[in-house]
Amino acid sequence: MSESILTRREGHVALLTLNDPSTLNSLSLEAIRSLLAQLQALKSDAQVRALVITGAGRGFCTGWQLGDGEVPGIAGESLGMRQSHLMESYFNPVIQALHESPVPVVAAVNGVCAGAGVSIALAADVVLASDQASFVLTFAPKLGLVPDLGASWKLPRLIGWARAQAVTMLGEKVSAETAERWGMIWRSLPAAALMPEAMALANRLAANPPGICREVREVFSAAQLQSLEAQMDLERQRQRGLLDAPSFSEGVKAFQEKRPADFYRS
């Protein structure tokens, strides 16, 4: 597997590190392919119960590596057509893999986060950011492009229409402190505390009942697209299945016995 994405395991937590610090972890074709392959491989690893994504060096991710000469294309194909194919084959599937992850995902944004990097961070379930980090969408004012990889769907829902439209059209840099205040991320904290807190939080999530973080993610996503009546019916259906699952029985038993629940006991 490529060195552009480093993977290591600490207990039941997998840590993926975007590893091209000389470019602030911009994504080459090789890197995005590797990231997708890593995410797909982790889906079938039963020992992994939570995932942390971060970047090496001073940046989290600055998006697509502009000027990448390795981008494949067909003779006569325009840049737009070629990039559209790359988004369909690699970039969008990365976001979809994060959104459909069977385990909770924590983004530890250690530095500058721009373009597609913002989309990757916001695709996580919980986003922590160093107080040295910042978020910026340069698509519109710098490149004449719209936000992609789900950012146009996620950002207005997190920070509101007015803020999302302004920071996108103006290319305004959003500090980690502001991102927390706006509800764009979970928490901003000192740089030295970022990874210890991210790993601690991931371990807490890893102890949750199997699959429950995905269940929460999916019902919240559904709530953005349907009526209150339809959402309550979805909640009813999911509770019917979850109340009959082993995790609920273990949770009740642990409560009665005044002990921590062990949802993974054999």
For the stretch 79-121, pLDDT in tens is 888 888 889 999 999 999 999 999 999 999 999 999 999 999 9
pTM over 0.85: yes
Instruction: Give 41's pLDDT tier (boundaries 50, 70, 90).
Output: very high
Neighbours of 214 (CB within 10 A): 17
Distance CA 109, CA 122 (A): 10
Check if the beta carbon of residue 155 is closer than 8 Å to that of residue 185.
Answer: no
Per-residue confidence band for 1, with pLDDT thresholds at 50, 70 and 90: very low
Q: Which helix (DSSP H) or strand (DSSP E) does residue 253 occupy? A: helix 246-256
Domains parsed from the chain with CATH numbers = 5-206 (3.90.226.10), 212-256 (no CATH)
Rounded Cα distance between 114 and 63, Å, is: 6
